[in-house]
Every structure is written in structure tokens, then in C-alpha cells.
Amino acid sequence: MSGEKFRVSPEETAKQKEYTELVRALIDSRFGSKPLAYVHTYGCQGNVSDGEYIKGMLSEMGYGLTDSLDDASLILYNTCAVREHAEDRVFGNVGALKNKKAENKDLKIFLCGCMMQQPHIAEKIRRSYSFVDVVFGTNVIHRLPEFVYKSLSQGKKITEIPSGDGVISEEMPIHRDSDYKAWLPIMYGCNNFCTYCIVPYVRGRERSRDPDIIVAQAKELVAQGYKEITLLGQNVNSYGKSPDYGVNFASLLRRINAIEGDFRIRFMTSHPKDCTRELLDTMAECEKVAKHLHLPFQSGSDRILKAMNRGYTADKYYSLVEYAYKVMPELSITADVIVGFPGETREDFLKTVELVKKCGFTSMFTFIYSPREGTPAAKLPDPVSREEKGIWFRELLSVQEEVASKRTAASVGRVYRVLCDGVSKAGLIEGRTEGNIIIEFPADKSVLGTYRDVEVTESLTWILRGRMI
Ligand code: SAH
Ligand code: SF4
Ligand code: F3S
């Protein structure tokens, strides 16, 4: 039972602590006031969690954090590679920094995250965006103090994207974005190699964190007053296999559920191939686990599921959904689906529509297939035009819209326990139901960060309106 082989060595950790001190000293001698860092993260919650560690390290080095690009002396983009659109946005935003750098030679521009882990992207940045100072990959986030120090002290350009299976650092400081909702990564990487997906290539092999560390952190979060903990992994259902901790995801959930306190547990993402009845039973039994399951199905056609290497059939998926509703009648299921996988026909697409009509999702994230360099699917013939895929995409959205609005309409008059966690543009308090549906209601800002009972008065397809009782 050893996670050591995945762990960043104590020597490396000590080295990064020294770099942190060196940066602090350098900042003290060079800047009149605290320099500010602007950190922006794209992509999934796993990346957002990395961004919180990045901010934690920068704070410890002596940087303040800012939301303003103009005030920043260090700008860092933590990028995502999952679809072309995500990458285009990064290129656009990085391109816009060229003038800023020309006006201020001391400005530091750092790029990291999944997109940078791809050698062809790092090469493109080096060639066409030569004003970028530092590019680093997903395997070396813990070495940020070293990169900052070298960049500040020597002004050298750095590109560091070592490949490899990936590591875990348990020593990074963290700056959490919220005072009451916390991300808690339980595993990193992915072994599934769905044929369309870039994640396994840029995130390395699946590796679970030590359950004792996770549980201790969850306890600490609860003691600090966090009201919601979201456990993160690309496939949480295979938690604990590598290294083998003898603790599967269901038993990890039970251990966290047993922590005393008033808090809710969420998790994502579940892969249907590894989603077991034991897990669904455990969700049903654990009162702190939100009755919300994000269970991407990607396609309703067995032929396409096979070509995607997903490891289940549409029937198997639907039987999981049926069982889940049976043991949790109040369950809210959300999903991801891809339209226009290479070789998908109208007939395949209609099978997806059929599945969506049956499953009663509260919401669904629909994506048009985007070819990712280096993945098997990117080499497949893809005869259906972008326009045609666009038509299918809109068709599927309207099917789901009907499913969702029926569900939300049925909740009018009901009362939900809601964690108040934001203010809408119209000045209403926003929160999420246990099923992760947004609900807006008039209330004072002092309710933020607390649980309140809210009665639904109106349903608007995707969100609800209500009043606090
Ligand atoms: N690990 C999660 C998914 C992470 S990526 C899982 O297996 O369910 C989030 C979503 O992006 C995926 O569920 C998929 O629907 C979508 N996605 C991933 N690669 C894509 C691609 N190449 N084109 C379009 N959508 C993609
Ligand atoms: Fe990508 Fe599949 Fe892994 Fe999810 S399970 S991250 S879709 S390869
Ligand atoms: Fe994007 Fe990387 Fe997450 S590719 S979706 S940020 S794991």
C-alpha cells in the first residue's frame, strides 16, 4: 500500500520551499509595494482546483492577487485543451497581452495547464508568442516557485513540459476562491483513453490520493466552516485502484459522510463503466451526499460508444439510471453528450435523442465533436458537415429543454434546502438545490454561505425562482 512512487520527493519539496523564500527576498528588494498576480483558469473543476494551488503558491511567494489585468505584474493563464474552442480562446487572450508586454518589459507572462502539456502547442507559443516568459506543463505545477524565481532573477525564457505518468504533491499551499464551497481532488489523471479525448495524454495516468489525507482534509474543511465539499476526479468511480489503497470510492464516501458537521458532499465525474450499484446504494444511504449524479453518456448508439471506447452500451447506461432513480427517487442526473463523433450517422444520433428522452436529465452539457491532435478519433473519416452537426446539436438541445422544463415545472411549490452562494445580475441571491439546480430568490446578502429553506414559486426551464421561508 504505497503511494510513494507518485509523490513528489521530500527533497524536491524542500527545494521549492527554498525558491519560495528566494522569491520573497527578491520581491522585498525589488518592488516598493506588494506586486500583484492575475491568475485565470479555463476548463474543468480539476483545473480550477490546480488554479487554487497556483494562487496559494504565488501568495506564499509574496504576491497579492488581482482580478485586473492592468494592475498585474505577473499574468498566468491555466489552460484547457479539451476542445478546439477552449484553445482558441487562450490564443486570443494571450495574443492580446503582446501590447501589454511591449509597454511594460517587466511584466511576466506564464502559461500552464493541459493545453501547454501538448508539445505542438508549446512549440507554437515559442515560435509565434515569443513574449511569453514561462510555459510549464501539468506534471510540474509544484515547481512554480522555481520558475518564478528563475524568471525574475535571470529573465530567462522557460519551457518545462516533461512527459511522464504524473505526480502528486501534498505540500502545496492553497488559496481557496470560496469561503464555503471547497474542491477536494481525490485523484488525478485518467486511464480510460476514450478515443476522442485529450485528457489522458495531458494529465498522465490515473493516481489516487491517500484516503487518510483526503479524510483529514475534509475534516479540516468542515472545521473551517466549509458547507460543501466537491470530490474531484476524471473518473471517481475508479478511485483507490492505483495505488491500491484497499478503499474504493463508495467506502471513501462513507468515511467522509461520517465526519460530524453540517455540510454537503458532491462529487464528479462518474464514468458509467465503473459506476456500481454499491456506489448508488451508498449515495442513497449517506445523508450528507447530495442526491445529484453527473453521469456522462456521450452517445446513445452502441456502435458509436464502441468507437469511443467507452466500455458500456446504451442499455447498460439506462439500467444504471433506472436503478439510481429506484434507490433515490429524488435524484437529479446530469450528463455530457457529444454530437457528431466521426462516422456518426443520423440513425446513431436518433438513438442519442431516444436515450435523452428516457433519462429525465435535469441538465445536459452538449458538445459538438472537436478533433484533438494525437487521439485515435482524429484520424477517422468524418464525412458529416459542420452545418449538419449544428442542426443535430440544436435538435438535441430542444429535446433536452423540454425534458428539463417538465422537471423544473414539477418542482413549483416544493421547498428545497439551498446553499446561498452568490448574487445574480438582478440582485437576487443565488443558490443550488441538492440536485444542483440554480434557484434565485430575494434575500439579504448576509445569507451568503448559509443553508436556507426556499420554496419554489416559478420555473424557468433551467433555473428556479423562489422565496425564502
Ligand atoms: N472524465 C469525464 C469527462 C471529462 S471531459 C468523463 O469521462 O465523463 C468533459 C466532457 O467534454 C466530456 O464528457 C465530453 O462530453 C466532452 N469532450 C471531451 N473531449 C471532447 C472532444 N474531443 N470533442 C467534444 N467534446 C469532448
Ligand atoms: Fe476523457 Fe474518457 Fe478520461 Fe473522461 S474518462 S477524461 S472522457 S478519456
Ligand atoms: Fe480541460 Fe484539462 Fe480539465 S483538458 S477539461 S482542463 S483536465
Sign of the torsion formed by the C-alpha atoms of 147, 46, 121 and 169: positive
* CA–centroid distance, residue 17 to ligand 1 (Å): 36
Pairing of strands 36-41, 74-79: parallel
Which residue type does 147 have? Answer: F
Which residue has the least CA distance to atom 7 on ligand 1?
271
Interatomic CA distance for residues 464 and 355, integer angstroms: 25
Give per-residue pLDDT as tens, 279-312.
999 999 999 999 999 999 999 999 999 999 999 9
Closest among 405, 420, 396 to 461, alpha carbons compared: 405
* CA–centroid distance, residue 189 to ligand 3 (Å): 10
For residue 167, what pLDDT is reported? 87
For residue 77, what pLDDT is reported? 98
- Residue 277 pLDDT exceeds 70: yes
How much is the average pLDDT of 14-31? Answer: 96
Interatomic CA distance for residues 297 and 311, integer angstroms: 11
Give per-residue pLDDT as tens, 202-227.
999 999 999 999 999 999 999 999 99
Pocket test for ligand 2, best of 82, 195, 197 (most atoms within 8 A of CB): 197
Ligand 1 lined by 369 (C-beta under 6 Å): yes
Interatomic CA distance for residues 225 and 317, integer angstroms: 37
Interatomic CA distance for residues 185 and 267, integer angstroms: 9
Q: Residue 169: CA atoms inside 13 Å, Cβ hemisphere, count?
A: 22
How much is the average pLDDT of 304-322? Answer: 98
Q: Residue 128: CA atoms inside 13 Å, Cβ hemisphere, count?
A: 10
List beta partners, residue 298: 337
Give per-residue pLDDT as tens, 163-212.
888 889 999 999 999 999 999 999 999 999 999 999 999 999 999 999 99
CB 430 within 8 A of CB 442: no
Which residue type does 138 have? Answer: T
- Residue 427 pLDDT exceeds 70: yes
How much is the average pLDDT of 332-351? Answer: 98
* CA–centroid distance, residue 235 to ligand 2 (Å): 7
For residue 1, what pLDDT is reported? 45
* CA–centroid distance, residue 56 to ligand 3 (Å): 20
Give per-residue pLDDT as tens, 393-415.
999 999 999 999 999 999 999 99
Q: Which residues line ligand 2 (CB under 6 A)?
A: 190, 192-194, 197, 199-200, 234-235, 271
Query: What are the grid coordinates assigned to 241, written together?
Result: 485502484
- Residue 451 pLDDT exceeds 90: yes
Domains and CATH numbers, the chain: 3-160 (3.40.50.12160), 181-408 (3.80.30.20), 415-468 (2.40.50.140)
Give per-residue pLDDT as tens, 61-114.
999 999 999 999 999 999 999 999 999 999 999 999 999 999 999 999 999 999
- Ligand number, closest to the Cα atom of 203: 3
- Residue 6 pLDDT exceeds 90: no
pTM of the prediction? 0.96
Ligand 1 lined by 234 (C-beta under 6 Å): yes
How much is the average pLDDT of 273-283? Answer: 97
% of the chain surpassing 90 pLDDT: 96
For residue 2, what pLDDT is reported? 60
Question: DSSP labels for 112-151?
Answer: EEGGGGSHHHHHHHHHH-TT--EEE-GGGGGGHHHHHHHH
- Closest ligand 1 atom to residue 296 Cα is 8
For residue 299, what pLDDT is reported? 98
Percent helix, strand and coil across the chain, each to the nearest 5: 40, 20, 35
Q: Return the higher-pLDDT residue of 252 and 31.
A: 252
For residue 4, what pLDDT is reported? 78
Ligand 3 lined by 300 (C-beta under 6 Å): no
Pocket test for ligand 3, best of 47, 87, 112, 192 (most atoms within 8 A of CB): 47
- Residue 234 pLDDT exceeds 70: yes
Determine the 3-state secondary structure of 25 from DSSP: helix
- Closest ligand 3 atom to residue 45 Cα is 3
Pocket test for ligand 2, best of 44, 114, 190, 269 (most atoms within 8 A of CB): 190
- Ligand number, closest to the Cα atom of 87: 3
Question: DSSP labels for 263-317?
Answer: -EEEEE---GGG--HHHHHHHHH-TTB-SEEE---B-S-HHHHHHTT-S--HHHH
Q: How confident is the model at residue 461 (pLDDT cuts 50, 70, 90)?
A: confident
Q: What is the mean pLDDT of the chain?
A: 96
**Measuring CA to CA, how many Å separate 139 from each of 78, 113, 241, 313?**
13, 9, 20, 34
% of the chain surpassing 70 pLDDT: 100
Determine the 3-state secondary structure of 439 from DSSP: strand
Interatomic CA distance for residues 424 and 107, integer angstroms: 34
* CA–centroid distance, residue 118 to ligand 3 (Å): 12
Ligand 3 lined by 114 (C-beta under 6 Å): yes
For residue 255, what pLDDT is reported? 98
Give per-residue pLDDT as tens, 107-135.
999 999 999 999 999 999 999 999 999 99
- Ligand number, closest to the Cα atom of 43: 3
- Ligand number, closest to the Cα atom of 200: 2
Would residue 307 be called left, alpha or beta, if left means φ above 0 and alpha means ψ between -120 and 50 degrees? alpha
Ligand 1 lined by 294 (C-beta under 6 Å): no
